[in-house]
Structure 1
Amino acid sequence: MTTNEPFRGWIVAARVLMAVIFLVAGVRKLMTYGATLGYFAKLGIPLADVVLPLTIALEIGGGLLLIAGWRVQWVAGALALFTLATAFAAHAFWAADAAQFNAQLNNFLKNVAMAGGFLLLIVQAGAGERAAGNRG
């Protein structure tokens, strides 16, 4: 029995809950592709026409891979970096007008908290691999 076995159901639930936001966001971007492309351009994201399909692939693909538990350390690492980059690129509360300040601050902090959750998944996955390696 590995160290994580008693918590396996909780760990899977955590991965699913963290993946949902990416799956929904990716599908919504796909369904509103033109509008999202315009929003990316408004944010000043360079090469928005290249970045958008990559973003959709990362959100949908990363979400599905996270749920499946495939290479959790790599997937969680990629999503953590993406989430932090998104916090700075799309939720610049420090530059928001008074009407948008609270919403942007909350979204920024949500992204930071999610990155923290991904760090926990990375540590947990690493501990599980080490425990499995010590069994034999």
Structure 2
Amino acid sequence: MASGLLSLLITHRNHWGCFYTRLPRVYERNFLNGIATMSQNTLVLIGRILISVIFITSGFSKLTNIGGTAGYFGSVGLPLPLVTAWIVALLELLGGLAILVGFQTRIAALLLALFSVASALVAHFDFGDQMQSIQFMKNLAIAGGLLILTASGSGTLAVERAKA
């Protein structure tokens, strides 16, 4: 058995002259494809959990200090700061919860992706400030992940996939 496994290994010499051993590429691809296929729905669930946390906590934080949120929104020039604060807080909290449990995931992900881009442009468009630049890029990265979720859907481990 061990000799059969060892016969699969290929010994190579790299450009420095050192020898190393690895599986043939066909086995590497099959191994990675097997992991991706076997656990795709689990990976989507983990991704939904991780991306939803920032929106749930941010939305909850805004709701528990709606006056402070409205004050900040007014300071950056957003119209109707109190109404805007309520809309943003509810969008973040409810959208994050929807993604977490997998309910209307594509719609929630698209709305939060648009929100992430809009908030990057409105609140983090100061490239002279390194922290704002990082926040801007973070929002764009989150929007990218949400757009992938919009395209792929919630996976099978979701409320919207549960059989009645």
TM-score (norm 2): 0.68
Equivalent position of 2:135 in the other structure: 107
Whether 2:48 is the aligned partner of 1:20: answer: no
Where has structure 1 moved over 3 Å in runs of 4 or more? 3-6
How far, CA to CA, are the matches of 1:6 and 1:33 in structure 2?
A: 40
Quick one: which of 101, 112, 120 aligns to 1:79?
A: 112
Q: What is the deviation of 1:6?
A: 3.4
How far, CA to CA, are the matches of 1:105 and 1:40 in structure 2?
A: 19
Q: What is the deviation of 1:4?
A: 6.8
Q: Once structures 1 and 2 are overlaid, which stretch shifts more, 3-12 or 39-48?
A: 3-12
How far, CA to CA, are the matches of 2:97 and 2:37 in structure 1?
A: 21
Q: Say if 2:67 and 2:82, in contact at 8 Å, map to a contact too.
A: no
When residues 11 and 127 of structure 1 are mapped into structure 2, their CA distance, relative to the original with a 3 A threshold, is: closer
SS at the partner of 1:45? coil
SS at the partner of 1:93? coil
Give the letter for the 2:152 counterpart. Answer: Q
Equivalent position of 1:134 in the other structure: none
Q: Once structures 1 and 2 are overlaid, which stretch shifts more, 5-14 or 83-92?
A: 5-14
Question: What is the CA RMSD across the aligned residues, in angstroms?
Answer: 2.0
Equivalent position of 1:56 in the other structure: 89
When residues 4 and 74 of structure 1 are mapped into structure 2, their CA distance, relative to the original with a 3 A threshold, is: farther
Whether 2:69 is the aligned partner of 1:41: answer: no
How far, CA to CA, are the matches of 1:4 and 1:126 in structure 2?
A: 15
Whether 2:42 is the aligned partner of 1:9: answer: yes
Q: What is the deviation of 1:25?
A: 0.6
More relative contact order in 1 or in 2 (CA 8 Å, sep 6+)?
A: 1
Q: What is the deviation of 1:89?
A: 0.8
Q: Which structure shows the bigger proportion of residues in helix conformation?
A: 1
Give the letter for the 2:64 counterpart. Answer: M
Greater Rg over alpha carbons, structure: 2
SS at the partner of 2:78? coil
| Identity of matched residues, % | 35
How far, CA to CA, are the matches of 2:61 and 2:100 in structure 1?
A: 19
